[in-house]
Structure 1
């Protein structure tokens, strides 16, 4: 990559998550340190207000652009090694940016959970990004870094300790505390509106291998869990995990891009642990019913309108206290292929609200990793583990309040 003015440009810095990214970048990397970074958005005045409020000055460089104006976006991407974008719904506002990054060899990170849009970006830009040297990396937040890097970490540990990979990995949400922003709800609403016009989107979203390379081997995984199931390995009742439909597809894409090292029959799933005994059983059914109701609210036009009225607006999110006091604790189980006594469990933890406090740190470190670390990894439309792997894990543990440990 030719010399660029900036290492990282934060696109959407005046939005809810964008502000958190700006705060983190300034706190960890300063305004005149080893990482040359800038903020970008449509309004210079709004960017100045954010910098004054979050940083205490307007010393951070600003880049002004419009999300649908190709000339201004091209100027933005050509100035930076990495574009870190928090502007969603990405299906509405991200396609042109991905296109330009793929063309110019500019690395890219986002927070999308829109599977249908990721499939579109893969089909349209993977080959071009491979040729230009760009790494286009979706899902660099709570969706899907704990999943994607957690599986990568546990598989490497299994290989180092036992000399084999696991053919079966489970991801279990043990504990979590956090809120929801208006931007997340807006993205979900937009995805369902698009599906109403194009029913093939729902078909794609139900495909366990929706993000795998076309005409490549598929595995044995079926649809995501939709009911209450008792997990024998954790000895707890489990309920569906709302983000499994995104995370599992990303992990399976990682496996395919790596060349299927975990075996052609590798299986992976994600659920939520809710407890054991009769109490856990009742809680599991109540939680499943609540999750089903939320999904139902996104399925119909009139319920979507009601949800929009009740939910935070785009640009709004959890309080500072909720973000600060939030956390997550994830457990991953890997089955040894031959000896159950050699099964392994990894724990992935993070401080702050997972959807925003932790996510803003994850995407920021992903951007810095792509910009500053010497990566011997492929190019194209990738996943966090394929693009950055252990080097991103190291950064997240060193700077971002995350831990990857073995139980």
Structure 2
């Protein structure tokens, strides 16, 4: 790693999540153990964030997402860039290109699979050549899923001497609404897919983020409203499964198929037992389907954007963030029928409080824990950060990773 002035620059520090990250960084690294700065397109807004939080000695850097020259100057001054500037499909291309060509490590909180694939196709060769380590999906989508599977597979290896060839995850509790940025990204993805048949086919491919020649062909589970005998209750599709499952499969491919070539993975929301659980499963599914249909119809989409859905920059109060959280259960089985489970929890709302801490710790792990000789390219959290990030999240981000007996 070159000796640049900063270990980390938080780009997009004036966004809602960016401000939470900035405050968290200020609290975590008051001892000077991380050299960091904040960046964005407006000096006045950066100064407001600095004054509000009470930053001292943290430099403010101005760079617009479309200004390649300014982004190059910014990247020349840091080892790692955190980007919160989304929707990434609209505003993220130039920064990824600059990082990939300059050898600057990068992480973000995108959940946009169509954009990630474009970045891989366009810039992975440059990242490999320059040594830049690009790590997407370092928020709630998809660190708990990716590292939850990683943690469970490590536990299976220790206990059984082999990994699980089937894992499912159930969201047993989640409190906290979707962020305005997540909604904006979802809206943009639907807009793209409506007019692009190739993209619609890509979005149905569970292996779309795997590298070329991955060789995976086993059909993946299609989660429906059903009664899950293992969990003892009804389940419904999980809205974030579309990105999380793809990241997990990429981790399998990048780790030399360490989960197996016949590996299957599914995610669902556990809605409870009896008639009430079944009704909740139906309501969850209908709600998601209605939202996606509504976003595909321009007049309804306009109404939802204008009057219903949260907008980028909007988010819950600090009190609401503190009251949020999530609880995920993973269960796996080996080819021999041996079973194992683990639980992953977070102590803040998924879309803001926990995501901010996960992204900040992912960047810190990338800056401090990843050896210089780890190759450039497009990695996943599990494959480049792995156990080191699990330990950081447990120690500093309010997450737990617990093996179930």
TM superposition score category, shorter chain reference: over 0.9
Give the match for residue 383 of structure 2.
386
**What is the aligned counterpart of 2:237 among 240, 247, 252?**
240
Superposed counterparts of 1:325-404, under 5 Å:
325-339=323-337, 342-375=338-371, 377-404=374-401
- SS of the residue corresponding to residue 76 of structure 2 reads helix
Give 1:10's aligned residue: 10
- After TM superposition, the score normalised by the length of structure 1 is 0.96
Counterpart for residue 47 of structure 1: 46
In 2, Cα distance between equivalents of 1:88 and 1:213:
24
- Match of 2:260? 263
Distance across 1 between alignment mates of 2:403 and 2:202: 35
SS of residue paired to 2:163: coil
Distance 1:59 1:164, change over 3 A: same
Q: Does the 8 A contact of 2:220 with 2:264 survive in 1?
A: no
- Determine the structure 1 residue equivalent to 2:28: 28
Number of residues paired by the alignment?
402
Partners of 1:330 and 1:347 within 8 A in 2: yes
> What SS does the corresponding residue of 1:284 show, helix, strand or coil?
helix
Deviation of the 1:223 alpha carbon: 6.1
1:73 and 1:154 mapped to 2: Cα distance? 39
Aligned to 1:210: 208
CA separation in 2, counterparts of 1:312 and 1:158? Answer: 41
CA contact (8 A) 2:20 2:353 kept: yes
What's the offset of the Cα at 1:236? 1.6
User: Helix, strand or coil for the counterpart of 2:168?
Assistant: strand
Q: Secondary structure of the residue that 2:208 maps to in structure 1?
A: coil
- C-alpha displacement at 1:57, in angstroms? 3.8
Q: Is contact 1:224-1:245 (8 Å) kept?
A: no
Question: What SS does the corresponding residue of 2:164 show, helix, strand or coil?
Answer: coil
Per-residue CA deviation, residues 359-407 of structure 1 (Å, 9 max, x unaligned), is: 0000000001111114374430111001111000010001000000011
- Cα shift at 1:216: 2.2
| 1:1-400 equivalences in 2 (<5 Å) | 1-30=1-30, 33-54=32-53, 56-222=54-220, 224-225=222-223, 227-309=224-306, 310-339=308-337, 342-375=338-371, 377-400=374-397
Q: Residue 219 of structure 1: CA displacement?
A: 3.5
- The separation in 2 between residues aligned to 1:374 and 1:170, in whole angstroms, is 29
CA shift in 2, pair 1:236/1:219, >3 Å = farther
CA 1:268–1:57 in structure 2 vs 1: closer, same or farther (change >3 Å)? closer
My pick for the range that moved more, 318-327 or 287-296, is 287-296
TM superposition shift of 1:313: 2.2
Preserved CA contact (<8 Å) 1:44 1:62: yes
Can you list the C-alpha shifts for 1:40-60, whole angstroms capped at 9, x where unaligned? 001111001011112x24531
What secondary structure is seen at the aligned counterpart in 2 of 1:253? Answer: helix
- Local SS of the residue matching 1:306: helix
Give the TM-score normalised by the residue count of structure 2: 0.96
Once residues 175 and 240 of structure 1 are traced to their aligned partners in structure 2, the CA distance between those partners, rounded to angstroms, is: 14
Is the alpha carbon distance of 1:334 and 1:222 closer, same or farther for their aligned partners in structure 2, counting shifts above 3 Å?
closer
CA-to-partner distance for each residue in 1:12-45, whole Å, 9 max, x for gaps? 0001000000011011112x51100000001111
Q: Alpha-carbon deviation of 1:290? A: 1.6
Distance in 1 (alpha carbons) for counterparts of 2:192 and 2:74: 28
User: 1:199: Cα distance to partner?
Assistant: 2.8
Unaligned runs of 5+ in 1: none
